[in-house]
A and B are shown apart, each in its own frame.
Chain A
């Protein structure tokens, strides 16, 4: 078997919380704990969960924007974190990020062309007319025209800005794109265009995606594999079909059941598919009927395989 493109091993990210009083005990927010994920080449891995579940923190550690407390991230078998980690420039050619709000992530005082070619110059890839050609080619690739290079971000619509955000991320030919809620700030009609563009690019460029989203219908549509996170841990993981046709962890079921779906309402039936059976005398972890305290040490639990590439977290 080929080694995975990216491997997240036992990742934990903790943040110190303020003491409740001067003499109070030290408190930590366990934003991410014991997360193991793999991303294969050409695959789209989606991380879903509610705000505060640690999905963005996980993505930021992949990008090198957040130091992990423990655990490691390997890219093609080589560590991306710790002492042997590559520098920022090298990293920039491995993974790039597409942000939720494209306008906030673009420099308002720079033309699109300058912004895109700056990366090429910085990495010593191309200058002058060659850089211009590359920028023009990239703009065409994301569905814009070469003369857009002379314009400023405010001259574009939301959908066009997201296309620019994608072009910016792709300029250095990265292997991995981290998509942080790539369409949730866009209108319904624009969402479809951006999703189609992302799927086309993935095919033509052989990209791998880590997509963070709370929109389950989009996740179902584009993912190969899905990881469901709840309070810093992965509670269920599997290929998209197992997750959507046999959602098993109570949290996954709640998440899928909460999506307001026009069809289900109109046909009157909102049946969630059956859960996969879990071994006797075991129970799901964590118990979602009460809100876990992120400061507390979590109960011991493991991800147990319940089907072909389908795992769910059970208490030990």
Chain B
């Protein structure tokens, strides 16, 4: 997975979203033509505030949009195939097998009435056709891989018996059970404590790197995005306003909205001993017209892959 792509030919993206539009009916559009690519093994971050459309973008790739929301235009090409044209059965086969998702709140995403071992084993039974006893053994291995202590014992626990961090590890074990090509993580650590968050993020990064899994990380937290992603798309009001390599985005944000977002955060270690200054508010940096306008996404090309990890 290391090394820069030789020559000008970029690798084929795992996921290629083109001009994706989501709306309630035909008239109320919420997502206005979002396009981005995720390369194999790349961690791509979508950052934005609530209501910016970052979560529904992730859900539409998975095919989990709920009525009345529906995709009204564009394409989602996954491994060379437009998944929007697939039937429900074919999409369900993809889900959990080739693409998988980690949700924000593990307690509501897990089944409270089944042991976690069973919930992981299910993946192997459904997608790999294993029998239950074999699948359960694989489930214990999966729990071990996400560093859950005493995996044999934990496999027999119910979700309510685990801590928040452990539950999120179980979610990751389920998502990565079939070694998918794409993992969509929607605010995977927002519900967790900072000390636990660091461990869970590290785990996602490590496992996906080892397997070459591409990750679409949806988050409102610029710190998490900077920590995890190689490339970042900034969303605002249903548009992708800017897309850059992470380092470039933080060093030289192109869109005024991104500049506002970066300026509005108090940074650790930025307070001066003399007193506490006021924080910059977003609307001092970006005006309303600049935010709502129908402008093209500002992008810079992907830099050398090696540089990102340097």
Residues of chain A at the chain B interface (Cβ within 8 Å): 50-51, 158, 187-189, 191-193, 195-196, 199, 214, 216-218, 220-222, 240-241, 244, 254-266, 268
Within 8 A of A (CB), among B227-284: 227, 246-247, 250-251, 260-262, 264-271, 273, 276, 278-283
Chain A residues within 8 Å of B261, by CB: 188-189
With A187-B50, A199-B278 as given contacts, are A262 and B273 in contact (CB-CB < 8 Å)?
no
Partner of A220 from B195, B271, B278 at Cβ < 8 Å: B271
With A241-B273, A260-B224 as given contacts, are A192 and B194 in contact (CB-CB < 8 Å)?
no
Partner of B268 from A191, A199, A254, A256 at Cβ < 8 Å: A256
Partner of A263 from B201, B267, B310 at Cβ < 8 Å: B267
Within 8 A of A (CB), among B131-145: none
Please determine whether A260 and B195 come into contact, CB atoms closer than 8 angstroms. Answer: no
Chain B residues within 8 Å of A257, by CB: 198
With A244-B269, A261-B223 as given contacts, are A192 and B198 in contact (CB-CB < 8 Å)?
no
Say if the beta carbon of B69 comes within 8 Å of chain A.
Answer: no
Partner of B49 from A187, A192, A264 at Cβ < 8 Å: A187
CA distance A51 to B196 in the complex (A): 11
Partner of B250 from A220, A221, A240, A266 at Cβ < 8 Å: A266
With A196-B281, A199-B278, A259-B223 as given contacts, are A51 and B268 in contact (CB-CB < 8 Å)?
no
CB distance from B142 to the nearest CB of A (A): 24
Chain B residues within 8 Å of A221, by CB: 266, 270-271, 276, 279
Please determine whether A220 and B269 come into contact, CB atoms closer than 8 angstroms. Answer: yes
Give the residue name and chain of the A residue nearest to B49 (CB).
Answer: A187
CB distance from A258 to the nearest CB of B (A): 4
CA distance A256 to B271 in the complex (A): 15
Give the residue name and chain of the A residue nearest to B282 (CB).
Answer: A189
With A188-B222, A260-B221, A262-B226 as given contacts, are A196 and B279 in contact (CB-CB < 8 Å)?
yes
CA distance A262 to B263 in the complex (A): 12
Give the residue name and chain of the B residue nearest to A224 (CB).
Answer: B276
CB distance from B255 to the nearest CB of A (A): 14
Please determine whether A50 and B226 come into contact, CB atoms closer than 8 angstroms. Answer: no
CA distance A19 to B169 in the complex (A): 29
CB distance from B258 to the nearest CB of A (A): 11
Chain A residues within 8 Å of B266, by CB: 192, 195, 217-218, 220-221
CA distance A241 to B226 in the complex (A): 26
Please determine whether B193 and A51 come into contact, CB atoms closer than 8 angstroms. Answer: yes
Say if the beta carbon of B220 comes within 8 Å of chain A.
Answer: yes
Partner of A192 from B251, B270, B279 at Cβ < 8 Å: B279
Query: Counting chain A CB atoms within 10 Å of each CB, which of B194, B220, B250, B261 scores highest?
Result: B194
CA distance A9 to B47 in the complex (A): 44
Give the residue name and chain of the B residue nearest to A218 (CB).
Answer: B266
Please determine whether B268 and A259 come into contact, CB atoms closer than 8 angstroms. Answer: yes
CB distance from B290 to the nearest CB of A (A): 14
Say if the beta carbon of B197 comes within 8 Å of chain A.
Answer: yes
1/0 contact string of B92-124 vs chain A (CB within 8 Å):
000000000000000000000000000000000
Please determine whether A192 and B282 come into contact, CB atoms closer than 8 angstroms. Answer: yes
- A-B CB contact pairs (8 Å), 25 listed: A50-B193, A50-B195, A158-B50, A187-B50, A188-B264, A189-B264, A189-B281, A191-B265, A192-B264, A192-B279, A192-B280, A193-B281, A195-B279, A216-B268, A217-B268, A255-B195, A258-B195, A258-B197, A259-B194, A259-B268, A260-B223, A261-B269, A262-B250, A262-B267, A265-B226
CA distance A234 to B223 in the complex (A): 27
Give the residue name and chain of the A residue nearest to B286 (CB).
Answer: A189
Give the residue name and chain of the B residue nearest to A199 (CB).
Answer: B276
Query: Counting chain A CB atoms within 10 Å of each CB, which of B226, B266, B310 scores highest?
Result: B266
Chain B residues within 8 Å of A158, by CB: 50
Please determine whether A188 and B265 come into contact, CB atoms closer than 8 angstroms. Answer: yes
Apart from A51-B164, A220-B270, A222-B276, what are 13 other A-B pairs with CB-CB below 8 Å?
A187-B50, A189-B264, A196-B279, A199-B278, A214-B193, A220-B269, A221-B279, A241-B273, A260-B198, A260-B201, A260-B226, A265-B226, A266-B250
